[in-house]
A and B are shown apart, each in its own frame.
Chain A
Amino acid sequence: MNNPKLKWPSVWLFLPIVLIILPFFFHNQYILQIANLSSIYIILNLAMHLMMGEAGLINLGQAGFYGLGAYAAALLALEFNLPFPITFLAGGLISAFVGFVVALFSMKLKGLYFALISLSVAEIIRIITLVWMDVTRGPMGLPGIPRPKLFGYSFPSNNEPYFILMVILVLITYLTMYWIQHSNFGLALNTIRDSEHAAASLGINVFWNKTIAFVIGCFFTGLAGSFYAHFFTYVGPTFGWHQTMLVLTMSMLGALAGLPGAVMAAILLTTLPEILRPLAMYRQVFYGVLLIVLIIYGQSYLGQRLKRRLKVDRLQTQDLQKGGQNNG
C-alpha cells in the first residue's frame, strides 16, 4: 500500500490558509461579505455532516433550527438587551434544547419518519415566526439587531473584524467535528449509520447516541443562526423549507464527502450565486441541474475515492505514530 501521508498535509493545509488570508488581501467589502456568509454556511454544513455523514440521520428540518437560533438571539438582544456573548450562545442552546425535545419523541422511529417529523417541526417554526405578530412582528421581521460587542469592543460595520471572529468560530466548529469523528463516540455513530441493528447487537445504545449527535448538530446550527442575526442585523421569516432545501441538499452533498468536503461545498454554495449573477434568471435551473449531476455522478467518483483515501490515511498515520507494525 503506498503511503499518501507525505502528500496530504501539504495540499490540505495549504488551501485553507490561502482561503483565510485571501479576503484580507482584497480589502473589498463585497468579498468579505461573501467570506462571512460562507463561514456561516460552513458551520451549517459541518453540523449537517455530523448528523448525516457520521450518524446517518436524515434531518430535513435544519432550516427551522437555523431560524430558531437567529430569532432567539435577535429577541434576547432586542427585548432583554442581553450582551452579545450570551445572545450568541443562547441561539445555540435554545436550538439544542428544542432539538432535544424533538429527538425524545421521534428518534426511536425509522429514518424516513424522523426526516418527516424534522421537516414538519421546521415548518411549524417557520409559520410561528410568520404568524406570531406580537413577538416576531411576522413578515416585517426584526430589524436593528445590535452588532456584536466583545469585551467592550463594538464591531464596526466594516466586515474585517467579523471575518476574524468567524474564522475563529469555524475553526472551533471544525476541530470539534474532527475530534468527534476520531473518538469512540464518532465510531459508534458510524456503526449506527451503517447498520443500526448490528450496532445494537454490540451493546451500543442507538437512541441516545443519535439523540446526542442531533443535539450537538442543532447547537451548532443555532449558533450559525445567531451569528447570522448579529451579522445582518435583521431576521425575517425566510427560513423556509423550500429555500433551504437548497442549502440542505448542498449540505447533504458535503456530508457525503467528509469534513473537508463539507467545507468546500459550503464555499461553493455561497460563491456560486455570485458567479452566476449574469445568469440570474436561470440560476435556480442551474442549481437543479447541478444537484442531479452531482448526486448521480459525484458519489461514484468523488465520494468513494475521497472516503477510502481519508480512512486509509487516518489509520496509517495513527499506526505510524505508535511505531507499530505496518504492511508495506
Chain B
Amino acid sequence: MDKEPLLEVKGLSKNFGGLKALDDVDLRVNSGFVVGLIGPNGSGKTTFFNVVTGVFHPNSGNVFFDGVDITRKPIHQISQLGIGRTFQHIDLFPMMSVLNNVVAGMLVKKSAGLIGWMNASSHYHENASELLTFVGLDEKEYMMAGELPYGDQRRLEVARSLATDPKLLLLDEPLAGMNPVEIRDFIDLIWKINSSGISVLLIEHNVRAVMSCCDPIHVFDYGQKIAEGSPEDLLQDEAVIRAYLGDEIPDDMVEELVEDHIEKTRGEQIC
C-alpha cells in the first residue's frame, strides 16, 4: 500500500484578509479509499475543497493530483484531470431537466473536438439514464432539476459529478438536512461509488456517519489539521475530542461506533 497517493497536499495555506482559513495543511488521499474530513464550523474544510478544485489560489503550498501539480490551475482543467465535486449549498442547473444536468457532466469527456461539440446532446441520454439509475433517480429523468425534493437534488449532484468520470470525488456536507433513513441510503451510495473504483473525500458534520464509512479521517480546527487516523484512533485522541466533541464520549458509544465501522469494512478490503 505504498504507492503514490492520488491526492497530495503539502503545506497549504490560505488567508482571507487577516483571517487564516488554512494554515500549513498536509493531507494525503490514497487511491481506492473513502476518506473523511471533519471539524467544527469555520475550520476550513470547504475552503480546503475550494483550493484543491481551483476556486481559490493558495497563498502557499502545493496540491498534487495523480502526480500532477494542480496548484493554481483553472477550475475546468482540474475537473478534466479527474476531480469531481458537489457543493455545500446545492448548485444544480435548476432550469434544466434532471437528465440534462447529468448530460452536462458528460460533455467534456465524451465529445471530442469540434465535431463532438456540434453533435446533438441527445446522444448521451442513454448513458445519462444509466447514471441516474445508479444513484436511484431513474423515475425522475424529465423533471426540472429545481423541482426535485432536497435529498434527490443531492443525488443528482452526485450523478452529475460522476458523469465527468472522476478518479476522486469530493463531497461537501451532502448529509446536511437528511433524516436517518436518507443518511443510511446515501452512505450506501458512497460505498457503491467506491466499489466501482472511485476514491471519495467526504466533508461532513455528522461525525457518526463519517465514522461509519470513512478510514482514514482527518480533523480540522481553525484552519489546521489537528489529527488523522482511523475512527478508533480518533475517538481516543484527546485533542480531537476537545476540539470537536466537547466532552468525552461515553464508552458504550465508542463501542457502538467501532462495531458499526468494523461491520462496514468486513470483507471489503479496499487496498
Enumerate chain A interface residues (CB-CB to B < 8 A).
1, 179, 182-188, 190-191, 194-195, 197-206, 307-308, 311-312, 315-316, 318-319, 322, 324, 327
Name A190's contact: one of B93, B105, B116, B161 (CB within 8 Å).
Answer: B93
| Complex interface: stretch among B38-46, B75-83, B190-198 | B75-83
- CB distance B142 to A206 under 8 Å? no
Name the residue among A1, A184, A199 with the largest chain B CB count within 10 angstroms.
A184
- Some 19 contacts from A to B, beta carbons below 8 A apart, are A182-B120, A184-B117, A184-B118, A184-B119, A187-B104, A190-B93, A190-B104, A191-B93, A194-B93, A201-B79, A202-B79, A202-B105, A202-B163, A204-B107, A205-B76, A318-B120, A318-B125, A322-B126, A324-B126
| Complex interface: stretch among B95-103, B209-217, B224-232, B257-265 | B95-103
**Min CB gap A188→B, angstroms:** 5
Interface string of B183-219 (1 = CB under 8 A from A): 0000000000000000000000000000000000000
Kindly identify, within residues 1 to 59 of chain B, every residue whose CB is under 8 Å from any CB belonging to chain A.
53, 55
**Min CB gap A314→B, angstroms:** 8
B127 is an interface residue with CB less than 8 A from chain A: no
- CB distance A200 to B87 under 8 Å? no
State in angstroms the CA–CA spacing of A199 and B91 once bound together. 10
B243 is an interface residue with CB less than 8 A from chain A: no
Name the residue among A188, A197, A198 with the largest chain B CB count within 10 angstroms.
A198
**Min CB gap A283→B, angstroms:** 34
| Additional A-B contacts beyond A190-B93, A191-B104 (6; CB < 8 A) | A182-B120, A190-B104, A191-B107, A199-B104, A201-B91, A327-B142
- CB distance B116 to A184 under 8 Å? yes
Interface string of B126-160 (1 = CB under 8 A from A): 10000000000001011010000000000000001
Name B117's contact: one of A185, A194, A197, A198 (CB within 8 Å).
Answer: A185
- CB distance B121 to A195 under 8 Å? no
Residues of chain B with a CB closer than 8 A to A327's CB: 139, 142
State in angstroms the CA–CA spacing of A188 and B219 once bound together. 37
B109 is an interface residue with CB less than 8 A from chain A: yes
- CB distance A198 to B87 under 8 Å? yes
- CB distance A191 to B120 under 8 Å? no
Name the residue among B84, B107, B163 with the largest chain A CB count within 10 angstroms.
B107
State in angstroms the CA–CA spacing of A51 and B108 once bound together. 21
Q: Is the interface of A mostly helix, strand, loop or mixed?
A: helix
**Min CB gap B234→A, angstroms:** 30
Residues of chain B with a CB closer than 8 A to A324's CB: 125-126
**Min CB gap A261→B, angstroms:** 15
State in angstroms the CA–CA spacing of A1 and B97 once bound together. 15
Residues of chain A with a CB closer than 8 A to B108's CB: 202-204
- CB distance A179 to B53 under 8 Å? no
State in angstroms the CA–CA spacing of A328 and B129 once bound together. 17
Residues of chain A with a CB closer than 8 A to B160's CB: 202
Q: Which residue of B lies closest to A200 (CB)?
A: B75
Contact A312:B79 (CB < 8 A) given known A188-B104, A203-B108, A324-B126: no
Residues of chain B with a CB closer than 8 A to A182's CB: 120-122
Contact A188:B87 (CB < 8 A) given known A200-B75, A202-B160, A202-B164: no
**Min CB gap B72→A, angstroms:** 15
Residues of chain B with a CB closer than 8 A to A191's CB: 93, 96, 104, 107
- CB distance A195 to B93 under 8 Å? yes
- CB distance A198 to B93 under 8 Å? yes
- CB distance B96 to A190 under 8 Å? yes
**Min CB gap B123→A, angstroms:** 8
- CB distance A194 to B76 under 8 Å? no
State in angstroms the CA–CA spacing of A204 and B99 once bound together. 18
Q: Which residue of B lies closest to A197 (CB)?
A: B91
- CB distance A203 to B117 under 8 Å? no
Residues of chain A with a CB closer than 8 A to B76's CB: 200-206
Residues of chain B with a CB closer than 8 A to A200's CB: 74-76, 79
B236 is an interface residue with CB less than 8 A from chain A: no
- CB distance B139 to A194 under 8 Å? no
Residues of chain A with a CB closer than 8 A to B144's CB: 308, 311
Residues of chain A with a CB closer than 8 A to B109's CB: 203
Name the residue among A202, A307, A315, A324 with the largest chain B CB count within 10 angstroms.
A202
State in angstroms the CA–CA spacing of A184 and B160 once bound together. 15
- CB distance B122 to A194 under 8 Å? no
B111 is an interface residue with CB less than 8 A from chain A: yes
Contact A307:B95 (CB < 8 A) given known A184-B121, A185-B118, A201-B79: yes
- CB distance B107 to A1 under 8 Å? no
Residues of chain A with a CB closer than 8 A to B167's CB: none
Name A203's contact: one of B80, B97, B119 (CB within 8 Å).
Answer: B80
**Min CB gap B224→A, angstroms:** 26
Contact A316:B107 (CB < 8 A) given known A183-B117, A201-B75, A324-B126: no
Contact A183:B119 (CB < 8 A) given known A194-B96, A198-B91, A200-B76: yes
B92 is an interface residue with CB less than 8 A from chain A: yes
- CB distance B87 to A315 under 8 Å? no
Contact A179:B97 (CB < 8 A) given known A201-B79, A204-B76, A204-B107: no
State in angstroms the CA–CA spacing of A190 and B107 once bound together. 12
B94 is an interface residue with CB less than 8 A from chain A: yes
- CB distance B79 to A318 under 8 Å? no
- CB distance A315 to B118 under 8 Å? no
Name A184's contact: one of B96, B107, B125 (CB within 8 Å).
Answer: B107
State in angstroms the CA–CA spacing of A324 and B138 once bound together. 14
Residues of chain B with a CB closer than 8 A to A194's CB: 93-96
Q: Which residue of A lies closest to B55 (CB)?
A: A197
